Structure 1
Amino acid sequence: MAGQSDNFVWVPNGVLVGEVSSPDPLPSSFQDEIKKWKFVVGYTGAIGKVNAINVLVEAADLIKESHPDIGFVAIGEGEQKKHLMSRVADANMSNFTFLAPVAKSQVQSALSLFDALYLGWLDDDLYDFGIGANKIPEYLYSQRPVIHSYSGGCDPIEASGAGVTIPAEDARKLAKAIVDLYEMTPEERLSLGEKGRAYALENYDFDKLSLKISELIRS
């Protein structure tokens, strides 16, 4: 109905800047496992159907021979993990590693070890009006370019200029996007990451979000 939007304000998930700016370190063994390749695409979070990690595995399989120096790391747990680990093993994919979850206080330390980050979704009209995963502000703050496999509305990666968005559940386009980022200069990738950090500080800082809510309550 006309005018209803005037009574609605969306407040997203955010980050505590003090927390993400001083993350806890990871064990050296964990770091060694990630830095086996020249270029690493990483993911942190749940490994479930809705996270489309299967699409990342398919993309990794497509480029395992043409780009053996690109590695893939998924950190987390979920109902799809065992199946996907078997898929990787059956395909002799030495370019893909699954690791155990890390503490929330260590997430930024993990993200800092990656050259690019993956964020994926299903191709579903559920996302027509946007998304609000807590990893979005964490990814953007990390100052790493984001590869967003997404076909919904209100795309924060596109809005921030922090990476590239390709259609959801399209492994071939995902593989191409990964190679395109790999072929960028470090300076070009850093520029994307810096846009993400700036966007996170402007739009996802919990102090600013709290102030926004406070102002709304008083108005």
Structure 2
Amino acid sequence: MSYFKSLAPDVVIASSTYPLDVYPAFKLTKKTGAKFVFELHDLWPLSPMELGQMSKYHPFIMLIQYTENFWCRHVDKVVSILPNTEDYLKRHGLADNKFICVPNGIVVEDYDIVEPLSVEYQELCDKLHKQGFFLLGYTGAHGIANALHTLLYAASKCQIANLPIRFLLVGHGQEKEKLILLQRKLKLSNVVFLDSIPKKQVHTFCKEMDCLYIGWQRKQLYQYGISPNKLMDYMMSGKPVIHAVTAGNNLVRDANCGISVPAEDAGAVFEAINKMLALTQEERQKLGNNGREYVIKNHDYKFLAKKIIEFIK
């Protein structure tokens, strides 16, 4: 027992998607006298209720709700990537002065360690650029939450307007086959679906694009905030971003690194694309530079780590 106490932690952090790990974490804090910290990534059970349409009376949802109430009452500190969740957590038992928002971050040096694109992908980008096309890129999951159908409907409007643009979508997910079927239904010749690429090639791909896109569903859940890692990758590439979002915060707006429009509004995305096309290369570069500078200043893990440590002390 004395050996165990000599190795006792100062802090125990429970960090997971759904919060069942709070019970062993809480038990460990009671055994060692350590502070109990909960790292909140997503609001559970609100996320599966909003995104998965699960009933609040589902046994799993009821279990998770009980657990959320438990950790809100017993936790010493809460660290969350979601900026607007404090009032929500207080309604479930969290006391004052126990919450801090620390967004997702990056290791700046990681962006110096990149790989070239495959010959096939590089040749495709080179070919489309030589043909005079503006390249709009997307990388990452093709899931329900990404609402990529909105981008395809915007692409249809671009095709009807005969805009010189090509949409390159890299990645996979449960919605990809449905999106490919939608592409065929809309007869989109300006959309190219590509397989996933290694993480170290994502930065290279983003830098080949003229503009990057990220979109969301229109859900009440997002009033509490968002902090997508993908957006950090986009901004570090120095390229402007079109952000289709209705949320409690907006990194693209804060950094002045692109154009923001409401979520799931294909007409608004189409208008944003037109505005982006109308900008000069220098204007787009300025937006891209704004994004990179903002992330380095505000999302470097070195800065965020100090913020967390000072809060927990």
Which range, TM-score by smaller chain?
A: over 0.9
- The answer on whether the counterparts of 1:41 and 1:115 sit within 8 Å (CA) in structure 2 is yes
Q: Which of residues 10, 13, 21 is equivalent to 2:104?
A: 13
Number of residue pairs matched by the alignment: 218
Taking only the aligned residue pairs, the percentage that are identical comes to 35
Q: Distance in 1 between matches of 2:218 and 2:192?
A: 25
CA contact (8 A) 1:147 1:164 kept: yes
Q: Which residue of 1 aligns with 2:271?
A: 176
Distance in 2, matches of 1:216 and 1:128, equals 24
Structure 1 counterpart of 2:302:
207
Residue number in structure 1 paired with 2:114: 23
Shift of 1:4: 4.9
- The superposition leaves residues 66-85 of structure 1 with CA deviations (integer Å, 9 ceiling, x where unpaired) of 23421101110011111111
Letter in 1 for 2:260: T
Residue 187 of structure 2 is aligned to residue 92 of structure 1 = yes
| 1:197 and 2:288 correspond | no
Give the alignment's TM-score, normalised by structure 1.
Answer: 0.93
RMSD of aligned alpha carbons? 1.8
What is the CA-CA distance between 1:141 and the residue it aligns to? 1.1
State whether structure 2 residue 245 is matched by structure 1 residue 116: no
* Cα distance between partner residues in 1 of 2:185 and 2:174: 18
Higher relative contact order (CA 8 A, sep 6+): 1
One-letter code aligned to 1:28: V
Partner amino acid, structure 2, of 1:100: D
Instruction: Tell me which amino acid in the other structure corresponds to 2:177.
Output: K
In structure 1, give the amino acid aligned to 2:168: V
Q: Could you tell me which amino acid in structure 2 is paired with residue 181 of structure 1?
A: M
Unaligned 5+ residue runs, structure 2?
A: 1-89
Question: Whole-Å Cα distance in 2 between the matches of residues 5 and 23 of structure 1?
Answer: 44
Give 1:10 deviation, angstroms.
1.3
Change (3 A) 1:80 1:187: same
Cα deviations across residues 164-219 of structure 1 (Å, max 9, x unaligned)? 1101100011001011101100000011011100111011112221222233334x
Contact 1:34 1:73 in 2 (8 A): no
Is 1:104 aligned with 2:199? yes
Long gaps (5+) in structure 1:
none
